[in-house]
Amino acid sequence: MSDPDSEAGMELKELAADEAATGKRLDQWLAAALAPDISRNRVQALIRAGAVTLEGAAVTEPKRKVSAGELYQIVLPEAEAPEPEGEAIPLTVLYEDDTLIVVDKPAGLVVHPGPGNWTGTLVNALIHHCGDTLSGIGGVRRPGIVHRLDRETSGVMVVAKTDRTHRALAEAFADHGRTGDLERAYVALVWGVPKRLSGTVDAPLGRSTRDRTLRAVVPEGRTDARLAVTHYTVLERYGQPNDEIAALVECRLETGRTHQIRVHMAHIGHPLIGDPAYGRAFRTKAKRLPQPLADMVATFPRQALHARLLAFRHPETGAIMRFEAPIPADIAELMARFARL
């Protein structure tokens, strides 16, 4: 019998010993019962780790003899994902030296392997491009990754090749440029035009109560509340003076929370065009638009968000490095269409 919900990421199996099991070593009997999914060496490790119990007590001796009628429980950890391998995925490299690489990540590319995306990620592309030179601090599935962008957000990213560079960049990103030289600027197409053409959204973020994969503005006193500050400036306004439909906004981060720009802009009433998570309530606005813009907006496959600028002090040379990624074609076409309103 198995219970996949016994613990998060665990599976609990119950195995009853019959007469044929009498006198056999516990590790031998369990390995035969669980073959071919788990090796005998793995079974021995689980026994020694206390993952096998008999009548509620851990059995930690692999050589223990089994008796008929005994009921054993074994907790099986979730299978570990394989280490990522290099894949020949095209990369747009903005800069590269022996200690770091800067790329323009396209929309649709996941940064690192994870559930549902064990291959085809930026990490797989970097391993192919850089070989074994990536920093190992991030772990085998996140080598060199100092920061990340959402899957459907495009733009500039820096990746570390050495542990020293990784540590220095990680400190800069953790500080968010308050005392250093880190600078990050995004452009976003949003619904409507903020009344104030520049401003700051200072609103803590935590997990959404309707979906734990999403974020929401939460009260400061909540246990998961995290400081989140976004500075925005309206760059372009689209529509007629008395009927402005959308705007191009630059957002600069003072903190770097998950989905921060998307949540903050929705919080002030101007969600990103195409945002499937935080802009659903504004989908009907597309019906007010002329063709072919209406169809283009209704079928736009991602949030219209692009990491345009990244600047930082090079950990080795001390020079200020500044990189800009041009607005990608899909967002540029939307901007051109809105500009005709």
Whether the upstream peptide bond of residue 301 has omega within 30° of 0, thus cis, is no
Q: Identify the residue whose tokens are 């309707």.
A: 210
Angle at 87 between CA 119 and CA 151, to 5 degrees: 45
Angle at 197 (CA atoms; ends 192, 199), nearest 5 degrees: 110
Q: Which residue(s) pair with 206 in the sheet?
A: 216
- 150 as an active site residue: the answer is yes
Catalytic residue (one of 27, 37, 132, 150): 150
CB burial of residue 8 (10 Å; 0-12, 13-18, 19+): exposed
Interstrand relation of 100-105 and 93-96 (parallel, antiparallel or unpaired): antiparallel
* Interatomic CA distance for residues 152 and 300, integer angstroms: 11
Amino acid at 310: L
- Taking CA atoms, 206 is separated from 174, 176, 226, 263, in Å, by 18, 19, 6, 10
Cis peptide before 219 (omega within 30 of 0): no
**What is the token pair recorded at 291?**
């063709």
Q: With beta carbons less than 8 A apart as the criterion, state whether 43 and 33 touch.
A: no
Catalytic residue set: 150
